[in-house]
Amino acid sequence: MGRTKIEESAFEGNSAITVAYVQDGCAEIGANAFKGCTGLKQIRLPENCSIADSAFAGCSQLIAIYGPAGGTAQGWALMHKIPFVPYTGN
């Protein structure tokens, strides 16, 4: 069984992360979980994962968020003006 929550500030400031694949089944990404991950360029998010508003704050290189169309990832990307790429399957 995978992780169901990425805790607050879990990866904060880790500039070595370039792509983040959040496992299916993860229900929540906490505040500042990836804050300041300046190397982060792409994120793959599962359907219906709650994302704290500040989860990806300061990720200045973020170019795309991938997730199921119509899910919370799409709404979060739209709200934060980050390109969203829909995908199907696992």
- Give me the number of domains the chain comprises: 1
Q: State residue 90's pLDDT score.
A: 54
What is the signed CA dihedral for 86, 13, 32, 25, rounded to 10 degrees?
Answer: 50
pLDDT at 1 over 60: no
The residues, ordered by sequence, that sit 6+ positions from 81 with a Cβ below 8 Å of its Cβ are: none
- Say which CATH number the domain at 78 has: 3.40.50.12480
Cβ 13 vs Cβ 37: under 8 Å: yes
pTM across the whole model: 0.89
Domain that holds residue 57: 1-90
Distances (CA, A) of 35 to 16, 46, 59: 13, 19, 6
Tens digits of per-residue pLDDT, 29-70? 999 999 999 999 999 999 889 999 999 999 999 999 999 999
The predicted structure's pLDDT at residue 2:
63
Q: Is the pLDDT of residue 21 over 70?
A: yes
